[in-house]
Structure 1
Amino acid sequence: MKKIHIEFSDERLITPSGLVFVGQILGKSSFVKKINRAPISKDYLQKQIKNGDVLLTYIGMLCQGKPQYEAVREMMDDPDYYKYALGISYAIPSAETLRQRFDMIGDSLRKDIQQANVDMLREMHIEPTALDNGFVPVDIDVTPFDNSKSNKEGVSRTYKGFDGYAPIMAYIGTEGYLVNLELRIGKQHCQKETPDFLRETIELCRQLTEKPLLIRLDSGNDASENIGIFMEESYKYNNVSFIIKRNPRQESKEEWLESVRECCQNIQHPRDGKTVYIGQTFRNVTYSLSDNEEKTVGIRTIYEITERTIDRYGQYFIVPDIELGTYWTNSSLPDDTVIDLYHAHGESEQYHSEIKTDMDVGRLPSGKFESNKLVLELTMIAYNILRIIGQKSLKKKDAPGRKKIHRRRIRTVISNLMQFAGHLTEHAGRLVLSIGRSNRWRFTFKRLYDSFAFIT
């Protein structure tokens, strides 16, 4: 076997060549201009490094799965490439500048970043894909971030049993584009401040699609106030439906079973000793309007009650095992369909996982709560950029892999399209990024670059 010799070269070998996609996508939006015009305190030393440059740099880091401030030092080895790829006008900030500027900006740009995120999706001609029934799903859920053994501001005990944060996320479409989020302290109940978040999310979703929305929430958000928001929105625009898993609270499973045993029309027997009752009833819900006037409406309630007298191994139960699942909804879809649609809400857990593990954002970098809010808000833009790249890569069959998929995982996008090695040369005023013919993703990479360049 021949010995391989390692030596250093002055050639410009670029590992994260995929950052050119980030610059192309953000370059078509007014994100940087809005950020630079935003009224922010100017009591800092490096006035020449604009806030737009700072946030562009950090979004580039997030798109590589590197949220820690110190990761910016990797860009210092070839700053000209990163400036060109990301559209940075002056300079790449140092890790210290990143930290100081994030502490200064905090949560003051929340509205600007939300709008920039929606504008980016629209400018890239992203239309969230609807379900087969015509509804565009909007999945909203809280996902705890583990920040144990830290003294960060806002870190406290979450319902998962560890210390951390409890942000709420909202995804739209079957692809799972991130349309809204909010960082919360770990001990905050999932329903606290959720009504305002729901109103905000609906307004953002309306800017992305005119199709009817189907909003799905779990039992932690079973509150009359939430139902009231959806009902009033539905009365106004007739394009908001919801499925909320009910919290049974003090309700008796045995009483539910007795009440439906005789009247249920859909009784299934999957195996010996297992009976499933599926049907609907109506229950009154009272909520308050904006003028504090109370309103009572009958809400359709879907139930799925499973009674087991024998387990799967043939063992008889002394007392039957009863499993109760009930759901609020204002849709007219069949009972079985409503239940299946709620179960599909569990796919949003995969989106959470991609943010926390693939992008490595689960452990937030700052000790200040307001700074971590900004980190998470920029994560929304970076996540959607990676999602756009992943979905565009599926348009043609030029990528490796034979398995047909409808959504490419963020980890795959980062490893195969962001961390894409290239050889950068400059000649006659032109920058050329050469791609090795041994890389099986080269055709997809070239197609994506050309397609983003021609989007107007």
Structure 2
Amino acid sequence: MGFGFRVKQLDYDLTPVAGLALVGHHLKRLDPLFKRLDAQWPCRGGLPPSTLMRSYVGLLAQSKSDFDAIEGFRGDRFFQEALGLVGVPSSPTLRQRLDAQAALWFDFTSQAIEALLRKSQPDYGLLPCGHVPLDIDTFAMDNSGTAKDGVSRTYAGVDGYCPLAAYLGTHGFCLEFALRPGAQHSASETTYNLETAVPMAQRLSTAGPKAPILVRMDAGFCSAALMADMQRCNRPGLPRVDVLIKWNPRKTDPLEVLRRQELEGGLLWQHPRAGKRVAVWEVAVQVEGIAHRLRRIVRITERTVDARGQQFLVPEIILEGWTTSLPKAISAEAIIDLYAGHATHEQFHAEFKTDMDLERLPSGKFDTNDLVCQLAALTMNVLRLMGQQGLLGPHAPVRHAARRRRLKTVIQELVIRAARVINHGGRLWLGLGANDKAARAFCDLHAQFAASG
């Protein structure tokens, strides 16, 4: 039996990315900021900065980070109308303008992220203790085999970058995505990032859930100076900021700690299985720069037999701890569980690197790549909002039950949608296919955005 299809080119326009119309609705909310940006950095005879940024956000929303990808949309009226562009830049123009002016536009992105989230007021997701988590961490981006500015050896053993990201809420809204050289230590220059991320989280919480903030960080940020910086954010009229940081024992001898605690008595051992026992206790610690004492939850684990039944010649002793300003009403076990939830942010890192194709950054200039990361944070929040508003309702495409959708799912179900572009009545219409199972959710979401302005 022969292949039954025939192929021809139609005489009307189609678009494979109808979801850019939804992205454009979110960008339209930022029009006042874009206008101020264009007024501050005018470009005579060329495209304004807002058009360059909107264009690149349109690429990132499709998982395209390469500047050359813009060439596929030159002369595409839908791309231009959907994103509110005065024109579509060429690939050389986009690259050269970002290389020349990236450092001048850094302040815009943090303002845009805050304005977007303040106007949208999403469900950030609260912790069982009633706090909104602010998870801060660094991660490695492999850019080996390149000579890009700032590429150096990361803690993961690859050459690349080690950016710092800050996510607000359990659903992963990104407030900060700051590019760093690969060899930079986690705690180095983090004070500057906290000065942006923590007050922004407080302001967004004031406008939204009105809940205290819990900053969660791993042992790389175990620093008295950083803890004091966050405690200074507690000011009248703003949500309280608490900290939960993994303790770095550094040169502390676990065996010596175990012997000392056994001599003092009071250790309550739990035996999860044969050959393994665990004890948890709490101590008060004085941190330089903080007037009141903080709590440190300490856990020591002793194994004489591994999970497969193999006996150790020498017992394995593991010492862990968590320093926090949370009140005593929250038990030690609950605090350990709260920190365990911090691991969810690893999924958000992966969404940047894989779902948005940002593992290898597009430019050789550090400042340009830094701006790319910041625009990626803005794009992540746009996609996160689209997923929360469009893929969790009764008309959403069939998916497993979830409290949030990862970016890849949002891109597949809402952005990469085929539609006919119809020019009628002096405006563009999008015609979705009769067999499009996501059309109902798409139309509902579009109508919701159009009604909200």
Fold equivalence (TM over 0.5): yes
Tell me the distance in 2 between the aligned counterparts of 1:330 and 1:385.
33
Shift of 1:114: 0.3
State the Cα deviation string for residues 327-356 of structure 1 (Å, max 9, x = none).
Answer: 110102210111111111111010000001
1:51 to 37, 49, 52: 49
2:121 matches 1:125: yes
Give CA-to-partner distance per residue, 1:208-261, whole Å, 9 cap, x none.
103100000001111110111123334765711111111111001112222334
Q: Which residue of 1 aligns with 2:280?
A: 278
Q: Is residue 2:83 matched to residue 1:82?
A: no
Does residue 174 (structure 1) correspond to residue 170 (structure 2)? The answer is yes
Letter in 2 for 1:255: E
Letter in 1 for 2:336: I
**Alignment-mate amino acid for residue 248 of structure 1:** P
Cα offsets for 1:386-423 (capped at 9, x unmatched): 11111112441212335210110101111121111011
Q: How does 1:14-53 map to 2 (within 5 A)?
A: 14-29=15-30, 30-39=32-41, 42=43, 47-53=45-51
Give how far 1:2 is off: 4.2
CA offsets 1:261-288 (integer angstroms, 9 cap, x no match):
454465321111111111211223224x
1:140·1:216 contact (CA, 8 Å) conserved in 2? yes
1:26-425 aligned within 5 A? 26-29=27-30, 30-39=32-41, 42=43, 47-76=45-74, 78-88=75-85, 90-210=86-206, 211-234=211-234, 239-261=240-262, 263-264=265-266, 266-287=268-289, 298-332=293-327, 333-425=330-422
CA distance in structure 2 between the partners assigned to 1:415 and 1:403 by the alignment: 15
Structure 2 vs 1, CA of residues 402 and 23 (structure 1 numbering), >3 Å: closer, same or farther? closer
Query: 1:79 and 1:235, CA in 2 relative to 1: closer, same or farther beyond 3 A?
Result: closer
User: What's the TM-score, normalizing by structure 1?
Assistant: 0.93
Per-residue deviation, residues 373-392 of structure 1 (Å, max 9, x unmatched)? 11111111111111111111
SS in 2 for 1:345: helix
Structure 1: runs of 5 or more not aligned: 288-294
Give, as a single letter, the amino acid of the residue that structure 1 aligns with 2:254: K
* CA shift in 2, pair 1:182/1:402, >3 Å: closer
Structure 1 contact 264–278 (Cα < 8 Å) conserved: no
* Counterpart-to-counterpart distance in 1, 2:201 and 2:151: 30
CA distance in 2, matches of 1:63, 1:22: 8
Q: For 1:362, what is the secondary structure of its paired residue? A: coil
Deviation at 1:316, TM superposition (A): 2.2
Contact 1:212 1:240 (C-alpha < 8 Å) held by counterparts: yes
User: 1:199 deviation in Å?
Assistant: 2.1
Q: CA RMSD in A?
A: 1.7
Contact 2:299 2:320 in 1 (8 A): yes
Counting matched residue pairs gives: 443
What code does the residue aligned with 2:227 have? Answer: I
Please identify, of 66-75 and 183-192, the stretch whose mean Cα deviation from structure 2 is larger.
183-192
The answer to whether residue 443 in structure 2 is matched with residue 446 in structure 1 is: yes
Q: Take 2:2 and 2:414, find their aligned partners in 1: how far apart are those partners?
A: 32
- Return the alpha-carbon distance in structure 2 between the equivalents of residues 449 and 433 of structure 1: 11
Q: Secondary structure at the match of 1:309?
A: strand
Give TM-score scaled by structure 2 length: 0.94
Name structure 2 gaps, 5 residues minimum. none
Distance in 2, Cα, partners of 1:135 & 1:106: 35
Give the letter aligned to residue 239 of structure 1: R
CA distance in 2, matches of 1:57, 1:264: 63
One-letter code aligned to 2:171: E
CA distance in 1, matches of 2:234, 2:316: 38
Identity of aligned residues (%): 35
Distance (whole Å) between structure 1 residues aligned to residue 187 and residue 303 of structure 2: 33
Amino acid at match of 1:280: E
Q: Secondary structure at the match of 1:275?
A: strand
Deviation at 1:11, TM superposition (A): 2.1
Question: Residues of 1 paired with 2:364 and 2:144: CA distance?
Answer: 13
| Per-residue Cα deviation, 1:79-100 (whole angstroms, up to 9, x for no partner) | 2111110011x21000000011
Cα deviation, 1:155-176, whole Å, max 9, x if unaligned, reads 1111111111111000001110
In 2, Cα distance between equivalents of 1:432 and 1:297: 61
